[in-house]
């Protein structure tokens, strides 16, 4: 079978059928559908609204997401023979066999979905989606729609909060795949945190499937897997421009390391050779994309010095190193020290590339620690967030609900309502020929309220616009 094609617009109908099969629902939806069918009410028109009762995280807003998947789910919704046979095995033996024929023929051709556009700011108790159609069908859709909207909206809102906390300039990287509720949870997180304001994801499949920009360089395991410079292979690199003679990059780096140690007054003896070997190997593999993690051992005694030495060697060969990643300890304090050293090197060795190096910080970042980055002095350009972003630690569920909105009156009741409604009209409006028209005007109370609002609006127009 061919793999699904790269599709930045999201999942196809076929793949959503596999991801959200119609059996992915609570059993009571099926038992209720049968009871509606049995009593002849299954085709009754019904309208359900999907909303939530409180903004998550104690916040003042929510972002609505997941609608596109809901639409694909509705389009693909149908029970296969195998689905129906399984339901037959689960429902009571006395269930009328004709019900299973009814299920087999079901689809959402009679269902209308009205929804707020994906990515819109929404508030509690406001309907996000209105699902109208035959009662039994819209009942069967409930759990799947809630499942598709709940987490997507929650994690998108969480990402938007992290973005607000970070401010508009700092770049944000999502790296929560390994901490999400399994593969699909991780993919959903990468997709909707990008929509919510993150710039990159570490999740390659999210890049493949949804076009989210991907980023990442190395883990500590890469650094610690090297022990000696003898492991560096190849040992040469060719300069970007000009001379094509391979340069002994190890020798070149060793030279720079001495100069850096001298500049900073550091002890070469404390430098970890394995770390230098790891950085060199990576730089030889990716001379234009050098961004190592520098705190596997000690930032100030080893990692920063090794980075500077390799980066200066790369600069000498006209490559442009990217920066460093800090993954532990006090990120703010360390970033200041790292930036100070970068500026010193830039000035002392006249390497302008060192003025624009990126410092990435990743260390169990919470919304609160993200907000603190705006209060504490630091030089962090990119922040990576994993666990607290994707698991929404502060509140791991949005709690959307799906409720019937119509009184669903019987014909008898509606017929009675027609009569009582007509009785409120004066006979002159009920004349069948040349009736008086009914004047619609504001009551005195409503008129006063509108006047007050108009007066208030001149002082507080933003409030009115926003509401």
Check: CB of residue 88 under 8 Å from CB of residue 100: yes
Interface of this chain with a second copy, residues 174 to 233, rule: CB under 8 A: 175, 177-189, 202-205, 207-208, 214-219, 221-222, 224-225, 227-228, 230-233
Q: Which is nearer to a second copy, 36 or 57 (CB)?
A: 36
95: left (phi over 0), alpha (psi -120 to 50) or beta: beta
Interface of this chain with a second copy, residues 44 to 63, rule: CB under 8 A: 46, 48
The residue range among 104-112, 348-356, 368-376, 401-409 that interacts with a second copy, by the rule CB under 8 A, is: 401-409
Q: Report, in angstroms and rounded to the nearest whole number, the Rg of the chain calculated over CA atoms.
A: 31
Rounded least distance, CB 445 to a second copy, Å: 32
Q: Is 465 in the site for a second copy (CB under 8 A)?
A: no
How many residues bind a second copy, per CB under 8 A?
Answer: 113
Q: Is 399 in the site for a second copy (CB under 8 A)?
A: yes
Q: Which is nearer to a second copy, 399 or 456 (CB)?
A: 399
Check: CB of residue 34 under 8 Å from CB of residue 95: yes
Question: Residue 168: CB partners within 8 Å, gap ≥ 6?
Answer: none
Rounded least distance, CB 356 to a second copy, Å: 18
Q: Is 358 in the site for a second copy (CB under 8 A)?
A: no
Q: Is 90 in the site for a second copy (CB under 8 A)?
A: yes
Rounded least distance, CB 342 to a second copy, Å: 22
Q: Is 20 in the site for a second copy (CB under 8 A)?
A: yes
Q: Is 255 in the site for a second copy (CB under 8 A)?
A: no
Give dist(CA 161, CA 392) in Å, integer: 11
For Cα atoms 439, 440, 446, give the angle at the middle one, nearest 5 degrees.
Answer: 140
Per-residue mark of binding to a second copy, 368-397 (x: CB under 8 A): -------------------x--xxxx--xx
Residue 152: name the closest of 74, 18, 50 by CA: 50
CA distances from 326 to 45, 176, 416 (A): 58, 17, 72
Which long-range contacts link 438-444 to residues 24+ away (Cβ below 8 Å)? none
Rounded least distance, CB 180 to a second copy, Å: 6
Q: Which is nearer to a second copy, 154 or 308 (CB)?
A: 154
Q: Which is nearer to a second copy, 86 or 463 (CB)?
A: 86
Q: Which is nearer to a second copy, 54 or 258 (CB)?
A: 54
Interface of this chain with a second copy, residues 301 to 320, rule: CB under 8 A: none
The residue range among 255-263, 287-295, 420-428, 429-437 that interacts with a second copy, by the rule CB under 8 A, is: 287-295
Residue 374: name the closest of 158, 163, 159, 165 by CA: 165
Check: CB of residue 253 under 8 Å from CB of residue 281: no
Residue 128: name the closest of 460, 403, 432 by CA: 403
Q: Which is nearer to a second copy, 87 or 305 (CB)?
A: 87
Q: Is 297 in the site for a second copy (CB under 8 A)?
A: no
Bridge partners, 134 (sequence order): 45
Q: Is 1 in the site for a second copy (CB under 8 A)?
A: yes
Q: Which is nearer to a second copy, 99 or 342 (CB)?
A: 99
Structure-block tokens of residue 383: 């922040």
Interface of this chain with a second copy, residues 317 to 346, rule: CB under 8 A: none
Q: Which is nearer to a second copy, 279 or 345 (CB)?
A: 279
Phi, psi of 396 (to 5 degrees): -80, 10
Give dist(CA 145, CA 78) in Å, integer: 15
**Distance from first CA to last CA of the chain, Å, rounded?**
51
> Could you say which of 7, 13, 26, 268 contacts a second copy (CB under 8 A)?
26
Interface of this chain with a second copy, residues 99 to 158, rule: CB under 8 A: 135, 139, 142-144, 146-148, 150-152, 155
Can you say how many angstroms the Cα of residue 166 is from the centroid of all Cα atoms in its chain?
16
**Strands, DSSP E only, in 284-425?**
323-326, 358-361, 382-385, 401-404
């Amino acid at each position: 079978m061919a793999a699904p094609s790269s599709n930045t617009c999201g999942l196809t109908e076929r793949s959503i059928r596999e991801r959200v099969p119609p059996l992915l629902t609570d059993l009571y939806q099926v038992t209720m559908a049968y009871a509606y069918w049995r009593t002849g009410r299954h085709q009754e028109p019904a309208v359900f609204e999907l909303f939530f009762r409180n903004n998550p995280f104690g916040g003042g807003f929510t972002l609505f997401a997941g609608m596109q998947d809901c639409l694909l789910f509705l389009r693909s919704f149908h029970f296969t023979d195998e689905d129906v046979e399984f339901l037959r095995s689960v429902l009571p033996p006395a269930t009328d066999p004709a019900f299973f024929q009814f299920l087999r023929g079901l689809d959402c051709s009679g269902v209308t979905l009205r929804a707020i556009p994906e990515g819109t700011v929404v508030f509690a108790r406001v309907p996000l989606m209105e699902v109208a159609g035959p009662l039994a069908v819209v009942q069967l859709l409930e759990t799947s729609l809630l499942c598709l909207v709940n987490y997507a909206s929650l994690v998108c809102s969480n990402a938007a909060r992290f973005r607000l906390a970070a401010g508009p300039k700092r770049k944000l990287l999502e790296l929560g795949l390994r901490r999400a509720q399994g593969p699909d949870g991780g993919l959903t997180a990468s997709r909707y945190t990008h929509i919510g304001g993150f710039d990159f994801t570490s999740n390659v499949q999210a890049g493949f499937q949804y076009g989210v920009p991907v980023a990442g360089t190395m883990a500590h395991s890469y650094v610690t897997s090297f022990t000696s410079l003898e492991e560096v292979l190849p040992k040469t690199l060719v300069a970007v421009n000009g001379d094509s003679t391979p340069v002994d990059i190890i020798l070149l780096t060793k030279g720079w390391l001495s100069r850096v140690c001298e500049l900073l007054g550091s002890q070469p003896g404390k430098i970890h050779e394995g770390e230098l070997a790891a950085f060199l190997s990576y730089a030889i593999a990716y001379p234009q994309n050098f961004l190592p993690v520098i705190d596997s051992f000690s930032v100030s005694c080893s990692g920063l010095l090794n980075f500077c030495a390799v980066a200066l060697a790369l600069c000498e060969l006209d490559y442009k190193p990217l920066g460093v990643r800090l993954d532990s300890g006090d990120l703010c304090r360390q970033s200041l020290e790292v930036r100070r050293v970068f500026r010193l090197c830039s000035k002392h060795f006249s390497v302008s590339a060192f003025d624009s190096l990126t410092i990435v910080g990743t260390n169990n970042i919470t919304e609160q620690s993200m907000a603190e980055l705006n209060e504490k002095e630091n030089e962090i350009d990119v922040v990576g967030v994993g666990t607290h972003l994707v698991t929404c630690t502060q509140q791991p569920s949005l709690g959307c609900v799906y409720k019937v909105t119509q009184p669903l009156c019987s014909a008898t009741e509606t017929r009675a309502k027609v009569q009582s409604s007509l009785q409120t009209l004066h006979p002159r409006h009920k004349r069948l020929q040349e009736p008086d028209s009914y004047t619609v005007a504001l009551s005195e109370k409503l008129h006063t309220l509108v006047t007050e609002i108009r007066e208030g609006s001149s002082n507080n127009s933003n409030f009115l616009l926003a509401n």
